[in-house]
Structure 1
Amino acid sequence: NFLEHILGHAYAPGTISNITDVVIEDIRAWQERPLQKRYAVLYLDGTYLKLRRDDVANEVVYVVIGVTEDGYREILGFYVGGQESSLGWEEVLSDIYRRGCEEVLLGIFDGLPGLEEAMKAIYPKADVQRCVVHKVRNTLNKVRKKDRSAISEDMKAIYRSNSKEEAEKQLDAFCDTWQKKYPKIAKSWREDFYVLTTFLNYPSSIRPMIYTTNIIERTMKEFKKRLKTMNSLPSEEAVEKVIYMISDECNTKWSTRRLRGFKEASPELHTMFEERYGSQTETEEKR
């Protein structure tokens, strides 16, 4: 039984019906809940689940995690259906904006084509950060095994720099070393350099949190783990129930857990908001 898989034990049919009714109402309220005006960071990621309509096919679940300037995170929304696309992400971000999240400093995501443009369409003043871990992984997949250790160290020298200027020098050294042997890789790193090193413009205490999408990927793994016993989900509504229950559980757990480094960075992030968006006249505490 679907709900037994999710909730962990058996329920009588009448009880399951009641739970189902309550959950649907809760989901709709949760999906429409107002959001804070300011989030320092938005993490964006999508994962595929097997969903039955007329037949079974993989469909995406878009997920957005927001982190406040004082370091508290929450799943702001999830959106089920179709194949992941930049247009889909623009619709997702439009909904996040509509619900009150109007000011964002940084969007963090992997390298899906068009996602940066989608972010900028809704949040033109936000910076974008491409996931460095994805870039490193993709690079290592394209080089010979005997070169992986050396090229890994040279990439590390770029993204572990203390400043953009230092990173640029390390990029030059990287390209000098590998240009002849791997010209496409050197070109790719040079082209993507600025979107890979945006995090260096932010307080050093939070850089380990914002150079990668690891924060949201861990959440996606939890979704997958909880769903792995099911071959396919019987409907879109069923997917929403699963993701909602896990999301609500995560948000409750996270509401008292500040992400590392944000306490120290909070004053500087506040200043960045003020410089970029102007003074905030009213602060809403919704944690």
Structure 2
Amino acid sequence: MTQLKFSANIEDLKEKVMGSDLETMVKSTIVLILNECMEQEREDYLQAAAYERTTERVDYRNGYYERELIMSLGSIKLTVPRTRFGDFSPSIFERYARYDQAFVMSMLEMFVNGVSTRKVTKIVNTLCGETVSKSFVSNLTKKLDPIVNEWAQRPLHTLTLDFVFVDALYIKVRENQKVVSKAVYIAIALDDEGYRHILGLHISHSENEEAWQTFFQQLIGRGVSSPKLVVSDAHNGLVNAIQKSFIGTSWQRCTVHFKRNIIVKMPKEGKKEAIKLLKQIFDASSQKEARQLRDQFLDDYGDQPSFQKACKVLDEGFEDAIQYLGDAIPENFKTHVRSTNSLERLNQEVRRREKIIRIFPNTQSAFRLVGATLMAYEEIIKHNPKKFRIWENK
């Protein structure tokens, strides 16, 4: 083992220890050790002690220079030895850069968990006693880009994804010196064993058929073949994109959104019993039973002028809203694939973090944060698969 010969002023160090200046003491100790480590490294590299004449010498000492090293405990200034030919480079900086990745990852984790760049800067300043600019933190978060991109493009062909849920939420982004609204498309799925998977995301200028098709083609290219159901709300562009992209797949209209669309058309007076019957329709155990209850609803309320709009909405969208009751859908899946509620909860996690940012500086920063949030949630699912299996949560 290398024996270090400490040449620093030990009396100064002892004085700081006795003075109970703990922060200064720790930093001084680290400076002392690292300086001696570098000195020993240079001697090992030269293969000769100071003023020693030997044929094995590879270079000559050439003084020192000062270099700052930022660690999680703050900034320290080291005296770095150098050689005449300049080929020597101490390993300290590379080694501690790797060691301090834990601190870097902590900063990134704060960012992913919704802590704004401004707040991250304040936390770092408090912990380290050093001034770290917002641009430094912003540049640091860009380290997430290749990680998020790799996750967003990972292959999915090894999974049997029978049920896919899609939805969009809107964010604000600065673009060409103005604030614009952009749509974030998110897709999740259930495999044939009931386990959840987060498939990916896509950001576009608007929610239209072309943008949805682009997103679906990305998913298909990564291995998503025609599922049994694609579950979503009734946005026209989305529905058209589903029908064109997934041949042989049924579209399941989200029953939660559908019931809201019907209820909003009901009159304020006398709708309590109508809502009760409406809920019974979608609690049916088969398509046959649901159709009978639908017919009963239309018989009871179809002739009332104040209910005609509600009856029209029900009648026109009914068949698309009961696909989950089909014979091809396993019984233990039916109640879980009739709405986008599971995706709505994930959207809330994204929204909670997005609200802190409020306005993203560019589209890439939005993709980075939303993607990192989805990645983090996917990791939670992977480490707790049984907890996220749908029939474990009844």
Normalised by the size of structure 2, how large is the TM-score?
A: 0.62
| 3-state SS of 1:50 partner | strand
8 Å contact 2:168–2:184 — kept in the other structure? Answer: yes
Residue among 310, 324, 332 paired with 1:185: 310
Q: Distance in 1 between matches of 2:173 and 2:166?
A: 21
* Structure 2 CA distance for partners of 1:227 and 1:35, relative to 1, 3 Å: same
8 Å contact 2:265–2:309 — kept in the other structure? Answer: no
- Which residues in structure 2 correspond to 1:95-114 (within 5 Å)? 95-114=218-237
* Structure 2 CA distance for partners of 1:236 and 1:156, relative to 1, 3 Å: same
Residue among 219, 228, 246 paired with 2:346: 219
Corresponding residue for residue 273 of structure 1: none
Structure 1 residue 129: Cα displacement? 0.4
- Which residues in structure 2 correspond to 1:219-258 (within 5 Å)? 219-255=346-382, 256=385, 257-258=387-388
Corresponding residue for residue 216 of structure 2: 93
Unmatched runs of 5 consecutive residues or more in structure 1: 264-287
Structure 1 residue 190: Cα displacement? 1.5
Bigger CA drift: 35-44 or 48-57?
35-44
| 1:19 pairs with 2:140 | yes
Q: Distance in 2 between matches of 1:44 and 1:125?
A: 17
Bigger CA drift: 251-260 or 173-182?
251-260
Corresponding residue for residue 30 of structure 2: none
Structure showing greater radius of gyration is 2
Structure 1 residue 38: Cα displacement? 2.4
Higher relative contact order (CA 8 A, sep 6+): 1
Corresponding residue for residue 261 of structure 1: 391
Corresponding residue for residue 41 of structure 1: 163
- Which residues in structure 2 correspond to 1:1-287 (within 5 Å)? 6-7=112-113, 8=115, 9-10=120-121, 11=124, 12-13=132-133, 16=137, 19-36=140-157, 37-54=159-176, 55-181=178-304, 182-201=307-326, 202-255=329-382, 256=385, 257-261=387-391
Bigger CA drift: 125-134 or 6-15?
6-15
Aligned length: 263
Normalised by the size of structure 1, how large is the TM-score?
A: 0.84
Q: Distance in 1 between matches of 2:391 and 2:314?
A: 28
* Structure 2 CA distance for partners of 1:192 and 1:15, relative to 1, 3 Å: same
Structure 1 residue ranges (4+ consecutive) displaced by more than 6 angstroms after TM superposition: none
Unmatched runs of 5 consecutive residues or more in structure 2: 1-106, 125-131
Identity percentage of aligned residues: 24
Q: Distance in 2 between matches of 1:145 and 1:184?
A: 13
| 3-state SS of 2:205 partner | coil
Structure 1 residue 148: Cα displacement? 2.9
Root-mean-square deviation (CA, aligned residues, Å) is 2.3
Letter in 1 for 2:155: P
Structure 1 residue 252: Cα displacement? 0.7
Structure 1 residue 144: Cα displacement? 1.8
8 Å contact 1:86–1:112 — kept in the other structure? Answer: no
